[in-house]
Amino acid sequence: MLRKTILITGSSRGLGKSLALAFASKGYNIILHGRNEERLNAIKEDVLRNKVNCPIVVGDIVDEKTITNLTACAKKNGIDILINNAGVYIRKPVEEMTPSEFKKIIEVNLIAPVLLTKNIFELFKRRKSGLIININSIAGKDFSHYESAYCASKHGLRGFMGTFKFEALKYNVAVIDIYLGAMNTDMAIGRKDNNKFIKTEEVAEFLCLLSQNYTSMRISEIEIFRKIY
């Protein structure tokens, strides 16, 4: 059986790492991406234990060169699934936020996944198949105190992908938006009761199920909340 290949941005830690390990255990080839090459190589060792392929792309997702390298790697390895996972979080009053901080949030959480999706979509169009999963946030639908920049980036991603789905459907390319509550990642360090947050391993296992090639149904979006408050 021909193995499917999945590209996961921001896969050096947190949910991205859990996704890479979960999909590798199911027999997927994994394209790892992140800024920390040492972390990526450590994860690659675990991925390779599943007898799958695992190329690495190192670079900041906001750099044009990184987007180019990810696209080239995806094309070379015959990508089947893209997971736009890379993201950053900030919780600050607007008056305390610097222009560079706001710009970084928008670039990482909105502009980068849009540009990468545009490139990968061209690959999917040629063969008329593919799946794009966007890791959004409940903040992409709701509002929260001191999260104006984060909410703006995630609402923007929701707006783009929600409209883009209609274009993708014409070429048999599925787009699924995942709206997640608080997870036990580095973003949650310092937050109250973070031991009650969603486990990345459980999210990863669930997304493996979503990625099956269903013949009669289309999943558009999923909301995932934590169970314990």
**Model pLDDT, residue 187:** 66
Residue 67 included in any domain: yes
Domain tally, the chain:
1
Residue 150 included in any domain: no
Q: 176: helix, coil or strand?
A: strand
Rounded CA separation 30/40 (Å):
12
Per-residue pLDDT tens over the stretch 170-206? 999 999 999 999 888 766 666 677 778 999 999 999 9
Residue 83 included in any domain: yes
Entry field: residues in the chain: 229
Amino acid code (one letter) for 145: H
Q: 194: helix, coil or strand?
A: helix
Compute the average pLDDT of residues 216-227: 94
| 114: Cα within 13 Å, side-chain hemisphere | 18
CATH number at residue 76: 3.40.50.720
**Domain region containing 50:** 5-89+111-140+158-224
With contact defined as beta carbons under 8 Å apart, do 108 and 61 qualify?
yes
**Model pLDDT, residue 145:** 81
Predicted confidence band at 229 (pLDDT cuts at 50, 70, 90)?
confident
Rounded CA separation 22/205 (Å):
6
**Model pLDDT, residue 1:** 58
Residue 47 included in any domain: yes
Residue 104 included in any domain: no
Radius of gyration of the chain (CA): 17
Residue 148 included in any domain: no
Per-residue pLDDT tens over the stretch 7-34? 999 999 999 999 999 999 999 999 999 9
Residue 58 included in any domain: yes
Residue 96 included in any domain: no
Amino acid code (one letter) for 60: D
Per-residue pLDDT tens over the stretch 38-58? 999 999 999 999 999 999 999
Rounded CA separation 113/171 (Å):
20
